[in-house]
Structure 1
């Protein structure tokens, strides 16, 4: 039995990477619920173009940006191939609900696989418990999950940089032999090359590789001369490491095959000029629209994006390390110190750049989960020793209970924010409501909910929606999209959406100026954040006339068609309304035609509203056009007539109070508005 238990234990331990991969891919399964700005503007179309370029042999056209995003484009090619493979034979149906998840799936698989591959590396460096807890925290860290579900560069970059860094640490841990022949060192170079093909911040691994090559010779350093000799000794390993990365870079980027110098310079210029310049649309920090948020940005953004237990775990580890003093550089804690050094160097480097977004700090998040796991495990050790002073608790039960609590907590947290993990901000710091006032928020999520609200309206599918990020909304807008400037022509669009990203950064404020006069029909609110505001574009008014009936019903003006009075025996009136507040009843509108002796010669009493919107359904901020035909006697004498109107409750016949700067029709009774005068020939 004991032997069976040992074999079962070994099999369970060997299955941990597979279990972690399955857990990671389950929570990272992409969806087609929303589209981010970069996916809509760049990567989905560029990956299709990349595939076409490869098939035609026009390899120079595989350079698009200096990011360079080549691994992302290769993964996009795989996603497009997967979609075509499944839809052409009609295994699955076509449409955005299948297209976006499948295009995103290869990138999600890479991030899940990198996590599973990292676990055995973590176990070598830190032992079973820290490695397992770190991997579980990595699986469930909301910010990492959010970006791993998307078709973008940052999650892939994070996975590859972390793999390369962990392999560097293992190369340092294994002192036997030279770095030049170390499989860990070579593997790190491969991962570095893939990371560099993904995004240029992978270059920040170079100082870490240099330090690790130097630390490998630390015991031989006695004086300045030996130190210089050690520095010289770092050159060959770094050349091998960088050479392997260069080979990966060249082999996997077709543009390097035909234009190596121009392609390389394109990446360098991206780093020097684009990364060093503020975002052209500006930024937002601490409640203000700014060009450069400054050096404190990531020190604020990272804690907001970390799960509470990760932030607390990191602080615990820092506390233990400070308490340890000189003993901190011993055992596995030295590898943790090097991870912490990477976090500091990376954050310091990206803080210098003028262009800042919270996702640029994503590569430090796995390292932070590892530090947090170390802090939590050490705290758990103190807790267990304290408990066992009073109660006898088998360590196995304590450990199992701890892991069970961790898994349950992570699962509940992810479930609570599904599927909008991009909207996750630490509850310790006030959550989304606080983040909205401090950090730039919104990358396209929530726009699909605004489009769904509009599409559900009776007229929501008639005309395009005016929005700033047109490609992001296009897949979710049945009647298409229009630029935000279209609100200046009410005949072109019925609805417009203002998005938090532009409002925070004050992007093209002249486009949002008209919204200040309007009340939103609907606000998209996700986890405490107001992401989008849906406005109805008020239809034009031929004859402005302002009047309020009661507290909720506002008359904006009217249009009069008297051309058929003699031929058709009727007068056509279009009234333009706006609800100032929700209307609580189905009211009746009266229109009286009065002659010069105040006699009523014609009238109508009709329900206020339209076939789709009775007055009881009027929502605050919505505008309505109602058209009425007022029959007139055929023998009506020529002359000037007055049109009086009002609104009343059909149950009590009590008229709604009238407030207006216009003229009242006092001879038509209380609370009657003089709409206009007409002359009948």
Structure 2
């Protein structure tokens, strides 16, 4: 085994060692969606009779699908993520208990996905961990063909031990996987056009580009990037006299067709939906891409003290400062200063270009333009194997144009620019190498050891809550909590563990933000809530989460109501920052969704306050039932009272009562938009009510002109 292969293997094992431990510690907010998508993807592969609902990004309702069509799950398109998820589900099936005789298809049909069982989490994540560990080794090998030591090894270490990359490579999602293929695809293109014009690099770039586009649609950036490299190649061949312009153009077009054809073939062959419903698959990608580009985050983004749908052009630079680390910052700064002379030389080439253009105009000689083109080409070329400048300019071009593209989109998250981080690791490695230029070999290995020690220390300190890592040089997690949205489900596992220690945990109902993230770890019943305040009131306990509080979602009134009526029992901290708050909750027996009347109110639920109640079984005629009604104030007047009616089997009304605000809510003039109001009343069942099944009708009287009947139910 060569030394390069030994180092690549060492990088793979190092990257794997820091990504594998405690793989099921917590579950992120989007992963249950990817488990569900992977389940349908695998089911579609296994049976032509497997049924599913296909996404329809332009319509409200999904449409039915069957068999291979079920491999279309979303417009991201996330195909690589679903392949890894399907492999993980298969692994879970292979390691099932000995008495489980189900076939893989039966296992897939039965697999719970909402909520996901904790035992599913590690298997579905494992393939992603393996691929992202291979990524660190693969980038090292590609860089060995481009740069002299110690640049490739330094870059490999920075990538393998980047806490932000580690965090995203330990979850079933598409950002790390798209980076795993997108960045090597770009490096392979640079290798082909800038270092060694061997077709194997172009074919490799095509395969990797196809995989990157299958992983995430933002990898379509590789199309214009490859075009830019191809244009430079065309100018290089012509300006250096290696070919006539026509022959150079033909060669460049042939290269482009080979790359694009390989990418397209990879894309189509590895996505079975392209075999059966290609038009629908491509349209779905286009539709969701347009949606992300033109629509911000539905719940808003907390950034620099404000909540907004599009946080603007400063978002990615600021989040990079919090997500980067010491060596990347030092290396990038060193790279800028290290190549200052080259930049000055490049400016000289620009002046020479202008002079030659004027000379061309004066003399009418074609050689002037050709000479000027060569000057430009040389400025972006590696002059000898050890000169990093030209290659780093192409890396910088990737960084600049990708950032421009991502900044132009309204929907922004820090993870969306993950490909930027390993590219910056390459720049940083070159900068660090420049710092120790012309030094002895022992100094170079000393720098490698320092990078390994510092970043490994960061990794150990952050484990396993890597998402809670924020750059200590700019204030760490406390400063990040004041500047940007933090938390993606990490910490909710700790909240569940605390509640599991209660003696009656299995009988408890807990309403939790990110319920899909909380449920795999909680022994009792999880009630999910987002903007459904009624669900939030239905638990014995309620869990608030950090990014919910940052974004005031759905508003501050739910927090205010709980905080006013119950005492905080537990706060969950990560890196010294509160991530979750656990309160007792009303535990109302009947929560209501989607009963919202704009400008009036929203019914949240009701609860019988006495015993026995209808929830306990049949009631004797003549019973009187104390009842509480919970609603959200949106403009309703006190005169617009809530009513409860007992409706008989024939539709007749057997009993009716109205409710009034509880004493603490009696001051209607002080009601706030979104405030939760409790009203109380007594529901009397007449003594002559015959036995039977009766319906309960809840509504309120209203004076709204749009409601001629005078009541809403």
Match in the other structure for 2:125: 104
SS of the residue corresponding to residue 498 of structure 1 reads strand
Match in the other structure for 1:32: 24
Q: Cα offset for 1:16?
A: 0.9
Query: Is residue 454–residue 460 contact of structure 1 (8 Å, CA) maintained in 2?
Result: yes
Q: Cα offset for 1:221?
A: 4.2
Query: Is residue 509–residue 540 contact of structure 2 (8 Å, CA) maintained in 1?
Result: yes
Q: Distance in 1 between matches of 2:215 and 2:534?
A: 42
User: CA 1:489–1:51 in structure 2 vs 1: closer, same or farther (change >3 Å)?
Assistant: closer
SS of the residue corresponding to residue 579 of structure 2 reads strand
Q: Cα offset for 1:163?
A: 1.0
Query: Is residue 299–residue 553 contact of structure 2 (8 Å, CA) maintained in 1?
Result: yes
Residues 544-577 of structure 1: per-residue CA shift (max 9 Å, x gap): xxxxxxxxxxxxxxx999xxxxxxxxxxxxxxxx
Q: Cα offset for 1:23?
A: 0.7
User: CA 1:227–1:268 in structure 2 vs 1: closer, same or farther (change >3 Å)?
Assistant: farther
Q: Cα offset for 1:299?
A: 1.1
Does residue 187 of the first structure (1) align with residue 204 of the second (2)? yes
User: CA 1:128–1:62 in structure 2 vs 1: closer, same or farther (change >3 Å)?
Assistant: same
Residues 334-364 of structure 1: per-residue CA shift (max 9 Å, x gap): 1111111101111111001010000001011
Question: If the length of structure 1 is used for normalisation, what is the TM-score?
Answer: 0.71
> Which residue of the other structure, out of 186, 198, 202, is the alignment partner of 1:165?
186
SS of the residue corresponding to residue 486 of structure 2 reads coil
User: CA 1:492–1:367 in structure 2 vs 1: closer, same or farther (change >3 Å)?
Assistant: closer
Q: Cα offset for 1:96?
A: 5.1
Does residue 47 of the first structure (1) align with residue 103 of the second (2)? no
Match in the other structure for 1:335: 391
Structure 1: segments with no counterpart, 5+ residues: 1-9, 385-394, 541-558, 562-681
User: CA 1:242–1:176 in structure 2 vs 1: closer, same or farther (change >3 Å)?
Assistant: closer
RMSD of the TM alignment (CA)? 2.7
Q: Distance in 2 between matches of 1:490 and 1:441?
A: 22
Q: Distance in 2 between matches of 1:267 and 1:487?
A: 34
Q: Cα offset for 1:20?
A: 0.9
Match in the other structure for 2:554: 508
Query: Is residue 111–residue 148 contact of structure 1 (8 Å, CA) maintained in 2?
Result: yes
Match in the other structure for 2:498: 453
Match in the other structure for 1:238: 256
Q: Distance in 2 between matches of 1:83 and 1:174?
A: 44
User: CA 1:396–1:354 in structure 2 vs 1: closer, same or farther (change >3 Å)?
Assistant: same
SS of the residue corresponding to residue 481 of structure 1 reads strand
- The structure with the largest alpha-carbon Rg is 1
Query: Is residue 167–residue 467 contact of structure 2 (8 Å, CA) maintained in 1?
Result: yes
Match in the other structure for 1:471: 516
Q: Distance in 2 between matches of 1:226 and 1:298?
A: 43
Residues 280-309 of structure 1: per-residue CA shift (max 9 Å, x gap): 111111111111101111011112101121
Match in the other structure for 1:424: 469
Does residue 259 of the first structure (1) align with residue 277 of the second (2)? yes
Does residue 319 of the first structure (1) align with residue 337 of the second (2)? yes
Q: Cα offset for 1:396?
A: 3.4
Q: How many residues align?
A: 515
User: CA 1:228–1:519 in structure 2 vs 1: closer, same or farther (change >3 Å)?
Assistant: farther
Structure 2: segments with no counterpart, 5+ residues: 49-66, 101-110, 347-378, 589-608, 612-713
Deviates more, 1:127-136 or 1:312-321: 312-321
Query: Is residue 283–residue 289 contact of structure 1 (8 Å, CA) maintained in 2?
Result: yes
> Which residue of the other structure, out of 82, 91, 95, is the alignment partner of 1:86?
95
Residues 60-101 of structure 1: per-residue CA shift (max 9 Å, x gap): 12111100001110111111111111224489xx99554311
User: CA 1:489–1:80 in structure 2 vs 1: closer, same or farther (change >3 Å)?
Assistant: closer
Does residue 439 of the first structure (1) align with residue 484 of the second (2)? yes
User: CA 1:144–1:344 in structure 2 vs 1: closer, same or farther (change >3 Å)?
Assistant: same
Equivalent residues in 2 for 1:201-600 (5 A)?
201-222=218-239, 234-327=252-345, 329=379, 330=383, 331-381=387-437, 384=439, 395-484=440-529, 492-509=538-555, 510-517=557-564, 518-537=566-585
Residues 255-295 of structure 1: per-residue CA shift (max 9 Å, x gap): 11111111111111111123421111111111111111011
Q: Cα offset for 1:148?
A: 0.7
Query: Is residue 486–residue 492 contact of structure 1 (8 Å, CA) maintained in 2?
Result: no
User: CA 1:25–1:319 in structure 2 vs 1: closer, same or farther (change >3 Å)?
Assistant: same
User: CA 1:411–1:271 in structure 2 vs 1: closer, same or farther (change >3 Å)?
Assistant: same
Query: Is residue 466–residue 486 contact of structure 1 (8 Å, CA) maintained in 2?
Result: no
Match in the other structure for 1:620: none
Equivalent residues in 2 for 1:600-611 (5 A)?
none
Question: If the length of structure 2 is used for normalisation, what is the TM-score?
Answer: 0.68
User: CA 1:53–1:511 in structure 2 vs 1: closer, same or farther (change >3 Å)?
Assistant: farther
Match in the other structure for 2:690: none
Q: Distance in 1 between matches of 2:497 and 2:139?
A: 41
Q: Distance in 2 between matches of 1:162 and 1:560?
A: 64
Q: Distance in 2 between matches of 1:283 and 1:189?
A: 36
Q: Distance in 1 between matches of 2:506 and 2:583?
A: 15
Query: Is residue 53–residue 59 contact of structure 1 (8 Å, CA) maintained in 2?
Result: yes
Q: Distance in 2 between matches of 1:332 and 1:27?
A: 30
Q: Distance in 1 between matches of 2:146 and 2:208?
A: 18
Deviates more, 1:165-174 or 1:412-421: 165-174
